Amino acid sequence: MDIDKNQWAEVWMRFRSGDRDAFGEIYEEFVDVLFAYGRKITSDRELVKDAVQDIFLNLYKYNPQLHQPEFLEFYLFRSLRNEIIHKIKKNKQESSLTDDGMFLFDLKFNAEQDSFDKESDELRVKALKEILQTVDTQKRELLFLKFSTGLSYIQIGQILNINPDTAKKQVYRTLDQLRDRFGKQLLELLMIWCKE
C-alpha cells in the first residue's frame, strides 16, 4: 500500500466524520487487493464481488459505529475473509472452494526479472505452483498472507483465528518441509515471488 499507517489513520478519521472523498480513497486503494485475496479463498468470482461490495457497503452503513482499526489493510482482509466464509456457508457452497478446498495462487514475478524471457517465467510459475500443490489449504493461505501481503504474524494469526506464534511456526515448518523436498529451487522461486 502506498500510504503508511498514520496517513490511513487520518483518512479513516475523515471518513468517520462523513468525508465521502476519504471513503473513495479507501475504496480505490483496497478494492483490487481485496478482490485478489478473495479469489484466493474461492473460485466463485460473483461471490467474491458480492463480498467485497458488502464490506464497503457495511463500512459506509455502519460508519458511526466503527472503531479506529490499528491497521486498515488487516481490518479489511479479516472482514473479507469472514464475509466470504459466511456467504459460502449461507449458500451451502462448500464445494466452491478452489480445487476442492485448495488455496489458489496467482503467481507473478518481479519486473526486475525481465531479463528472463516469457517462457522461463512460465516455467518458474509452473514449478512454484507444483510445489505449492503439495501443501494443504491452510498452509497455502499462511504462505500467501506472509509473502504476498506483508502482514505481520500477529495480523495473520488474527485473520486465521490462530495464535501468532502458531502462524509463525507453521510458516517455518512448511518452508522447512518444502526446502527439504525441493531444496534450492524453492528458495529461488520464493525470492522472486512478489505481491500481486
Question: Is pTM, for the whole model, over 0.75?
Answer: no
Give residue 51's pLDDT.
93
Cα atoms found within 13 Å of the Cα of residue 179, Cβ hemisphere only: 10
Q: Find the CATH number of the domain harbouring 119.
A: 1.10.10
Give residue 102's pLDDT.
45
Nearest CA-CA partner of 173 in 146, 151, 193, 149: 146
Give residue 93's pLDDT.
43
Whether residue 83 sits in one domain with residue 50? yes
Angle between helices 72-90 and 45-61 (to 10 degrees): 120
Whether residue 142 sits in one domain with residue 73? no
Measured between alpha carbons, how far is 142 from 171 in angstroms, rounded to an integer? 7
Nearest CA-CA partner of 33 in 142, 131, 148, 117: 148
Whether residue 165 sits in one domain with residue 85? no
Whether residue 50 sits in one domain with residue 111? no
Among the candidates 96, 124, 147, a domain finishes at 96
Among the candidates 55, 76, 96, a domain finishes at 96
Among the candidates 41, 70, 96, a domain finishes at 96
Whether residue 15 sits in one domain with residue 30? yes
Whether residue 177 sits in one domain with residue 136? yes
Asked if 192 and 109 count as a contact pair (C-beta separation under 8 A), the reply is yes
Give the amino acid at 94: E
Rg (CA), the chain: 18
Range of the domain at 38: 5-96
Whether residue 150 sits in one domain with residue 126? yes
- Scanning the structure block, which residue is given the C-alpha cell 528458495? 187
Nearest CA-CA partner of 106 in 134, 137, 128: 128
Whether residue 18 sits in one domain with residue 57? yes
Measured between alpha carbons, how far is 125 from 131 in angstroms, rounded to an integer? 10
Asked if 93 and 47 count as a contact pair (C-beta separation under 8 A), the reply is yes
Number of domains in the chain: 2
Whether residue 114 sits in one domain with residue 68? no
Asked if 11 and 27 count as a contact pair (C-beta separation under 8 A), the reply is no
Q: Find the CATH number of the domain harbouring 84.
A: 1.10.1740.10
Whether residue 113 sits in one domain with residue 170? yes
Tens place of pLDDT per residue across the chain (196 aa): 445 667 778 888 888 888 889 889 989 988 998 988 888 788 788 999 999 999 988 888 887 667 777 778 888 888 898 898 888 888 764 444 544 444 545 444 444 444 444 556 666 667 777 777 777 877 878 887 887 777 788 888 888 889 999 998 998 888 888 777 777 666 556 655 533 3
Whether residue 162 sits in one domain with residue 124? yes
| Phi, psi for residue 175 in degrees, rounded to 5 | -65, -40
Q: Which long-range contacts (CB under 8 A, 24 or more apart) does 75-81 make?
A: 76/30, 76/34, 77/34, 77/37, 77/145, 77/149, 77/151, 77/155, 77/159, 78/158, 78/159, 79/55, 80/34, 80/37, 80/38, 80/51, 80/52, 80/55, 81/37, 81/41, 81/159
Whether residue 176 sits in one domain with residue 131? yes
